Structure 1
């Protein structure tokens, strides 16, 4: 990923927090014949596994992506945070010189590493339980896996395949107008807020490289 120095974010703690906050990633794999495939997958981060942690998720067994991906082959998980179009009309520089162009602000994280698969029922139950607890935990009346009949859950587990992506490379990019003069950044944040893009406006005001949660 192209990352000019002012947009780089490499702190694992910040990247891990953002990945957990985002939850969903596009998982890119490559088949044995070199054909790339991609699909959106909710992912569970286990930061304690290895230098950068590991990502867990699951495919439907009917999904050909996992069948066509050799075990141990490289995979890429792409997490996208807040993003918004930035018009040059928000820049003070437009009024001063006119030498401005549009751009797009965004936050993104790329996690790379080998992918392996598992079908063990106990491991799959642990994964779906952890994923459910992660996203249900803050709700007023959280749903739990064991709220459903056990035989129904076992049938559901037989229809999925789990995977683990052991992260060997982790890169973040927070492109939030850090390369613009202060007056342009202030104008951008104000314009984004007026448009309802509050999350991006907040990151622009805070200098970009911040957690997303």
Structure 2
């Protein structure tokens, strides 16, 4: 991934936080049937290795788990929001017109080695932890024990576990860090006016970091 210095995010805790908050990601592999992409919710275990590990499950009918071998290299892409940025939002555009449209976003690319786990105990653990995580916000969280035992067992037999040992992780947070103070604030105002409140809030800390960088250069 191309990452200019201004947009590079290397703090592992920040990258892990994004992966945890936005766990639905895209798994890319190059298996026996060529390039493939699957969209899956992932569980992040930060206690394994230097960068952590990812766990997920796929349908048994999905050929991806047969196409990959243990140890194959894969890429998982996490994305956390994006927004179009109009050059009209930059005050400098109205001074010299030397601005163009762009797109702001946050992504994390995770590179790792895959392991296939075709056993019920493993997938039961993955499903249980993912369920607890994502049902926690519900008024009455669903539990695996809510389903009839025979039905649940049939569902577990229909999926296969995947684990990815993370060997490299990259973060690109493109939030206007390469722009001036006035242009960042102009883009923040434009985003708020267009209903993109989340991206506007993300750019505010970015602008503070940019201001500090500018101060250090003086």
What is the TM-score when the length of structure 2 is the normalising length? 0.93
Measure, in 1, the Cα distance between the counterparts of 2:64 and 2:101: 37
* SS of match in other structure, 2:92: helix
Alignment: residue pair count: 209
Measure, in 2, the Cα distance between the counterparts of 1:168 and 1:95: 46
* SS of match in other structure, 1:117: strand
| 1:43-122 equivalences in 2 (<5 Å) | 43-122=42-121
Measure, in 1, the Cα distance between the counterparts of 2:10 and 2:174: 13
Measure, in 1, the Cα distance between the counterparts of 2:207 and 2:54: 25
Q: Structure 1, residues 102-150: CA drift from partner, whole Å, max 9, x if none?
A: 0000000011111111111111111100000010112211111111111
* SS of match in other structure, 2:77: strand
Q: Structure 1: which 5+ residue stretches go unaligned?
A: none
The answer to whether the 8 A contact 2:184-2:207 is kept is no
Question: Larger % of helix: which?
Answer: 2
Post-superposition, which runs of at least 4 consecutive aligned residues in structure 1 deviate over 3 A?
Answer: none
Q: Name 2:25's counterpart in structure 1.
A: 25
Matched, 1:165 2:164: yes
The answer to whether the 8 A contact 1:9-1:209 is kept is no
| 1:192-203 equivalences in 2 (<5 Å) | 192-203=191-202
What is the TM-score when the length of structure 1 is the normalising length? 0.95
